Amino acid sequence: MTRKNIQPPLIAHIIYRLDTGGMENGLVNLLNNIPEDRYRHTIICLTKHTKFRERIHNKNIQLFSIHKREGKDILHYYRVWKMLRKLQPNIVHTRNLATIECQLPALLAGISSRVHGEHGWNVGDLRGNNRKNRVIRKFCKPYINHYIALSKHIQSYLLEQIGVMSAKVSQIYNGVDTKLFRPASYKREKLPSEDFAPDNAIVIGTVGRLQDVKDQLTLLRAYIILLKNLPTSYEKPRLVLVGNGPLRNKINNLVNEAGITNMVWLAGERDDIPRIMRGFDLFVLPSLAEGISNTLLESMSSGLPTVATAVGGNPELVLDGVTGKLVPAANPEAMAAALITYIQQPEMMREHGAAGRTRVEKKFSLEKMVEAYINVYDTILGGVNDSNHEFLNGRN
């Protein structure tokens, strides 16, 4: 068999569900940018996949759904094992707590190269302190060859709380497509919502699934405080919430109660996020917990100053007072104060937006992320060289 007939190694990416979300967006970015002659991919969803799959450019990537039932479904481990026995991937890569237990079926299926990624926390365990979850992570530790932590915060957690050896953890930041997410050429672009914001109004925006952990309600409360405290000489800013989810009704009710329906656009899910970002003046990430936020990086790449909560990996991305402002989580008063400062100092807004763009270009490019993942995959398959050793020991 000639070398050109040898297929690249196959990676089976196991996730809970392929749907709109930061982790899923990062996975799609990775799959769209790893050269097809280096690795092949398949995605195994424990539950199901949605139209989000359309963002995957490579149509040769297969998607499988295990259709795990809600709650306890012991048989789904058997279905994962059976799928892996059939596919025989060279590498299994699980992501987050929801899939970590699939490392054991992968071992039993004879897959010798097994990677696990930790991307962030859920609303029920904002700091990874839940005893049951820590027990699960420690139970699965012997079955995992290598970990990928998206932030230094998560890396420290794995080392100090779970007891993972440092040589088995690589910290890799998400990357952003700086060509796709770029600043508006002159002034912010018109939003695709007729007569929503006059040219002299500041548009404050956020992008994310409307759920408790993303805490858009705090942003909305901060916006209401802002409207009350902003001097009347200023044009009233507008607020855009992009995304859908279980918080939508509560958000809609609060908007109606405050009488601001004409100043808040609930945009729902969108497939034109780069364009929407160029229609913002300010970006806010109000999350209660985060790993490394794709949308935060995308906003910085779009040249937007950012107000973000000082949780998880956010302080690793936002340089307080340089590219944006960090505020306490679940504190609408502090968030409103940060927003007012920006509105009253437009020059600072421009300076921080430009600094954020520069920071992304230097440190969080898509190319750097893809190179780092390929390095891990190459190393775990046995292609170890001196540079790989340095990378895996955190000296890259």
Query: Tens-digit pLDDT profile for the chain (396 aa)?
Result: 444 568 999 999 999 999 878 889 899 999 999 999 999 999 999 998 888 888 899 888 999 999 998 888 899 999 999 999 999 999 999 999 999 999 999 999 999 999 999 998 776 677 778 899 999 999 999 999 999 999 999 999 999 999 999 999 999 999 999 999 999 988 899 999 878 999 899 999 999 999 999 999 999 999 999 999 999 989 999 999 999 999 999 999 999 999 999 999 999 999 899 999 999 999 999 999 998 999 999 999 999 999 999 999 999 999 999 999 999 999 999 999 999 999 999 999 999 999 999 999 999 999 999 999 999 999 999 843 333 334 444 433
Ranges of each domain in the chain: 3-175+366-392, 203-363
The CATH fold of domain 3-175+366-392: Rossmann fold (3.40.50)
pLDDT of 186 reads 83
Burial class, 37, CB count within 10 angstroms (exposed 0-12 / middle 13-18 / buried 19+)? exposed
Q: Which residues contact 388 (CB under 8 A, 6 or more apart)?
A: 375, 378, 379
203-363 matches 3-175+366-392 in CATH topology: yes
CATH architecture designation of domain 203-363: 3-Layer(aba) Sandwich (3.40)
Closest Cα partner for 378 from 113, 138, 193?
Answer: 113
Q: Concatenate the DSSP letters of all residues of 221-247 into one string.
A: HHHHHHHHHS-TTSPPPEEEEEB-STT
pLDDT of 226 reads 97
- d(CA 104, CA 315) in angstroms, rounded, equals 34
